[in-house]
Structure 1
Amino acid sequence: MDLALLISRYGLLAVFLGCLLEGETMLVLAGYAAHRGYLDFAAVVGVAWIGAVLGDQFYFWLGRRHGQAVLKRWPKRAESIERALALIDRHPVKLILAMRFAWGLRTALPIAIGLSRVSSIRFFLLNLASAALWAPLVAGTGFAFGAALSRHVQELQRIEHWVLAGLVLLIALMHAYRGWRRRCNR
């Protein structure tokens, strides 16, 4: 099967699933795919926005409902969450709006906010706004990268399928390695 067909058929699903988690890499790749015409840019942004909001709402709920149990189960996350709680107390609005851009704390921050005194409605509204800023910015980065790359590399069309396949494989291997490391550190 052709990689372009796979991307056009399953790309938005991959963006949604990727953005439920941390999503930056997937969204940059989707922005690039939109530049190449495999995906619609507006659809990529919309799906990323929905996935990001739902993912962070889940992590917020997890913190609100099961926060103390999460801290006990994953002590490595507890350190990040404790640091985040101190920041939340000082700057709740700024932190919620910026949380999506804090790489390495993307799952810890919504959990920590769930543990804080921030109301569910306030978090939801700020989460909507944060994702509305994040999705077009990150997808736009991939789109702009594709535009710059295609201007400078005439051979890109000949090798782009291999480059995309390699990037997807690299991402999958990195996630598998991180999961393996987490299981080994328990």
Structure 2
Amino acid sequence: MTLVTPIYFFLFIIIGTFIEGETVLIASGYIANAYHYEFWLILVLGLIGTLVADQLYFFLGRYCHRHQILPKFIAKRLTKVQSIISNHQNKIIIFFRFLIGFRMIIPFFLGYSNVNTKKFIIIDLISGFIWTLAFIIIGFSISLSIDKLIPAAKSFEYHFLIVFLCLIVFLKSLSFIIKKINKHTPNSQTNIDLQ
């Protein structure tokens, strides 16, 4: 099968994990099995994307702290968060990426606080490896299950993949729109919750 061009697929993994994360890794695992891509190559590309994102947000936080460029009301809130971070540094670095929706903001907080840079990079690498591996295996397993349960699905794999990706885009867009609606109506009782 050559329906998924390798170079575009590899870019999809790196850019996708940089921006989104879990969904992209599950889709990548599915595609890797369906189109017979090397599992370890997918793992390395996913890890590169997620680590680059983490480091970018971490060093952005560090830069903002050193140059005091955040508005005072945000800086005050971050100062309150620093005591929590100081007491639970290792746990936060290990588990932040598993908290959906916090993957960008927590590395920024960690960078803004007094977390040691070397410590962050090392623990983030280990945690990132486990996280990336887990979600790729989920996608891989979904593809294997479909192959075993529905042998005829092989001929419809490409269509299933398109539907799967469209569904993900739809749900993410819907979630984004609902968050915007809730943000603009903070005192309303008509707030929508998609959690």
Larger displacement relative to structure 2 (81-90 or 55-64): 81-90
Q: How big is the shift at 1:36?
A: 1.5
Cα distance between partner residues in 2 of 1:83 and 1:166: 44
Cα distance between partner residues in 1 of 2:106 and 2:25: 20
Q: Deviations over 1:29-53 (max 9, x none)?
A: 1111111134221111000111111
> Any conservation in 1 of the 2:50–2:128 contact (CA below 8 Å)?
yes
Cα distance between partner residues in 2 of 1:72 and 1:159: 55
Match of 2:15 in 1: 17
Q: How big is the shift at 1:60?
A: 0.5
Structure 2: segments with no counterpart, 5+ residues: 185-195
Find the residue that maps to 1:155 and give its secondary structure: helix
**Matching residue within 87, 92, 113 for 2:89:** 92
Matched, 1:26 2:20: no
TM-score between both structures, scaled by the size of structure 2 = 0.77
TM-score between both structures, scaled by the size of structure 1 = 0.81
Q: How does 1:60-79 map to 2 (within 5 A)?
A: 60-66=58-64
More helix by share: 1
Cα distance between partner residues in 2 of 1:173 and 1:23: 16
> Any conservation in 2 of the 1:22–1:107 contact (CA below 8 Å)?
no
Cα distance between partner residues in 2 of 1:37 and 1:180: 34
**Matching residue within 99, 116, 131 for 1:119:** 116
Q: How big is the shift at 1:144?
A: 1.5
Match of 1:105 in 2: 102
RMSD: 3.0
Structure 1: segments with no counterpart, 5+ residues: none
Matched, 1:48 2:20: no
Match of 1:160 in 2: 157
Larger displacement relative to structure 2 (42-51 or 155-164): 155-164
Find the residue that maps to 2:108 and give its secondary structure: helix
Give the length in aligned residue pairs: 180
Amino acid at match of 1:156: A
Q: Deviations over 1:123-173 (max 9, x none)?
A: 111111111211112111111121122111123212221121122223334
Relative to structure 1, the CA distance from residue 139 to residue 72 in structure 2 (aligned partners, 3 Å threshold; closer, same or farther) is farther
Cα distance between partner residues in 1 of 2:79 and 2:23: 27
Q: Which has the larger radius of gyration?
A: 2
Find the residue that maps to 2:92 and give its secondary structure: helix
Q: How big is the shift at 1:87?
A: 3.9
Match of 1:5 in 2: 3
Relative to structure 1, the CA distance from residue 116 to residue 5 in structure 2 (aligned partners, 3 Å threshold; closer, same or farther) is same
Matched, 1:37 2:35: yes
Amino acid at match of 1:130: S
Q: How big is the shift at 1:24?
A: 0.7
> Any conservation in 2 of the 1:7–1:39 contact (CA below 8 Å)?
no
